[in-house]
Amino acid sequence: MSKTKTAFFCQDCGYESPKWMGKCPSCSSWNSFVEEIKQKKGGSAPFSKNSTDAKPVVLQEITKNVKQKRKLQDEELNRVLGGGIVLGSLILVGGDPGIGKSTLMLQLAIKDHHKVLYVSGEESESQIKMRAERIGILNESCHILTETNLEAILNHAKQVQPQILIIDSIQTLHSSQIDSAAGSVSQVRESTASLLRYAKESDVPTFLIGHITKDGGIAGPKVLEHMVDTVLQFEGDRNYVYRLLRTSKNRFGSTNEIGIYEMLGDGLRPVENPSEILVTNSDTGLSGISISSTIEGVRPFLIEIQALVSSAAYGTPQRSSTGFDAKRLNMLLAVLEKRCGFKLGTKDVFLNIAGGIKVDDPGVDLAVTMAVLSSNANLPIPAGIAFAAEVGLSGEIRPVNRVDQRIAEVEKLGYKKIIISQNIKGLNLSNYKIDVVQCTKIGQVVKTVFS
């Protein structure tokens, strides 16, 4: 078999060279050369007359060929995928090392009742078996393959004919058509392209595990994310047991869904009711703790915000925040100082979202300010109060989306009072048994809470 011809191309300007070069002679950019397979001679040109049979069709005449969604055992995974897995889709799962990507995928392979081919280029068969036994094997048709050669994997896949293919990880694959090492940009791109073709032709949904770079992006070329149908990010703090599975791209569903898991000794357990675990204890009587009703995707849940305000030991006060945007914290502190007259300029402020989760919902603003004020005054917020509102630059309390769901969640968990903003369209307070207090200014909230 003759080797496919490859050449190096500048990713910025397209300059072609037979050898790798550090600097592009054409556009002078550095480190932009990547090996690519050259089009074979005689291959069909994109616009040749008989290259394709496709013809333009009037939109109304197109018959919908909605690929059916296959339900998985794992409800959290169904949720982030938009209700189930679409046949022939290519799904990239990214995340930090050790976060649990392999565990999540192996669990899908051995707990579901689909015929699965799990390809690992990172662990040996016995290592996988050990891990599988820890999780508990239920699936009788789960095939394990330890292989890194792309062509061999595709051959095995054609023989086994799985219903789901899992590749752990895309960075370990190498195609014999390209000389560069496994994990290099050209290898990753070529492997993904071949697997994409396989998935579309055979209708087998394919999961690719991808490593993450130091800045948190998926390692390899950016085009990887363009090629696949869905990108899932598995994240969480390794020191905590909770893991979040987020969708950052989805061609078959919404992207703001999250799945929550708990990492236990025997694998990942889906967390059906996040509020109950993320809020530790509502009646501790400690200052600096507040509860916010937040929404991720379509799911409302409660989170606990902890603040510590103390006199700065050194000249410059420190501000630090975990799980909440530090710039937003600074903004809220400035609002408290300037608009509400609380002297926080000389104080150290530390903020933490319990459970190691990250939130970027503006609806937690009010709870953050109240936690800070509570710690500053050393007055605990009475038990049974939750908050859901944004705080504006002039210290005004602003409405947030889907307030009704947030109130319902707070009520469900037995809270007595929720503080929200005024001017919420379509809100019918008679639907709730809980006390809903609508405020316009921070000062008003302080009075309501502490008097």
CB of 264 to ligand TYD, least distance (A): 6
CB of 55 to ligand TYD, least distance (A): 46
Interface residue list for ligand TYD (CB under 6 A): 95, 97-103, 131, 134-135, 263, 265-267
- Does the N-terminal peptide bond of residue 169 adopt cis geometry, omega within 30 degrees of 0? yes
Is residue 102 near Mg ion by the rule CB under 5 A?
Answer: yes
Is residue 107 near Mg ion by the rule CB under 5 A?
Answer: no
The listed partner (ligand TYD, Mg ion, none) that binds 186, CB under 5 to 8 Å by sort, is none
Interface segment toward Mg ion; rule CB under 5 A; list 14-22, 100-108, 241-249, 388-396: 100-108
CB of 101 to ligand TYD, least distance (A): 3
Nearer of residues 164 and 434 to Mg ion, judged by Cβ: 164
Nearer of residues 99 and 371 to ligand TYD, judged by Cβ: 99
CB of 238 to ligand TYD, least distance (A): 7
The listed partner (ligand TYD, Mg ion, none) that binds 95, CB under 5 to 8 Å by sort, is ligand TYD
Nearer of residues 131 and 417 to ligand TYD, judged by Cβ: 131
CB of 91 to ligand TYD, least distance (A): 15
Of residues 3-42, those binding Mg ion (CB under 5 A): none
CB 111, CB 138: distance < 8 Å: yes
With tokens 């190691």, the residue in question is 356
Nearer of residues 135 and 305 to ligand TYD, judged by Cβ: 135
Of residues 52-71, those binding Mg ion (CB under 5 A): none
CB 334, CB 409: distance < 8 Å: no
Of residues 174-233, those binding Mg ion (CB under 5 A): none
Task: Tell me, by CB under 5 A, how many residues bind Mg ion.
Answer: 1
Nearer of residues 25 and 97 to ligand TYD, judged by Cβ: 97
Beta bridge partners, 142, equal: 116
Interface segment toward Mg ion; rule CB under 5 A; list 86-94, 98-106, 136-144, 418-426: 98-106
The listed partner (Mg ion, ligand TYD, none) that binds 99, CB under 5 to 8 Å by sort, is ligand TYD
Sign of CA dihedral 9, 14, 17, 18: positive
Determine the Cα–Cα distance for residues 428 and 435; give it in Å rounded to an integer: 12
Nearer of residues 24 and 105 to ligand TYD, judged by Cβ: 105
**H, E, C per residue of 143-186:** EEEECCEHHHHHHHHHHHCCCEEEEECHHHCECCCCCCCCCCHH
Nearer of residues 134 and 338 to ligand TYD, judged by Cβ: 134
Nearer of residues 134 and 197 to ligand TYD, judged by Cβ: 134
CB of 107 to ligand TYD, least distance (A): 8
The listed partner (ligand TYD, Mg ion, none) that binds 230, CB under 5 to 8 Å by sort, is none
CB of 165 to ligand TYD, least distance (A): 17
Determine the Cα–Cα distance for residues 224 and 218; give it in Å rounded to an integer: 8
- Spatial CA neighbour of 79 closest among 283, 277, 409, 299: 299
Classify residue 263 as exposed, middle or buried by CB count within 10 Å of its CB (0-12, 13-18, 19+): middle
Nearer of residues 237 and 390 to Mg ion, judged by Cβ: 237
Nearer of residues 179 and 266 to ligand TYD, judged by Cβ: 266
CB of 75 to Mg ion, least distance (A): 23
CB 326, CB 361: distance < 8 Å: no
The listed partner (Mg ion, ligand TYD, none) that binds 321, CB under 5 to 8 Å by sort, is none
CB 317, CB 347: distance < 8 Å: yes
Interface segment toward Mg ion; rule CB under 5 A; list 102-110, 296-304, 325-333, 409-417: 102-110
Sign of CA dihedral 267, 230, 79, 418: positive
Interface segment toward Mg ion; rule CB under 5 A; list 9-17, 94-102, 389-397, 402-410: 94-102
Nearer of residues 120 and 421 to ligand TYD, judged by Cβ: 120
The listed partner (Mg ion, ligand TYD, none) that binds 100, CB under 5 to 8 Å by sort, is ligand TYD
Phi, psi (degrees; rounded to nearest 5) at 35:
-75, 135
Q: Which residues here bind Mg ion, judged by CB under 5 A?
A: 102
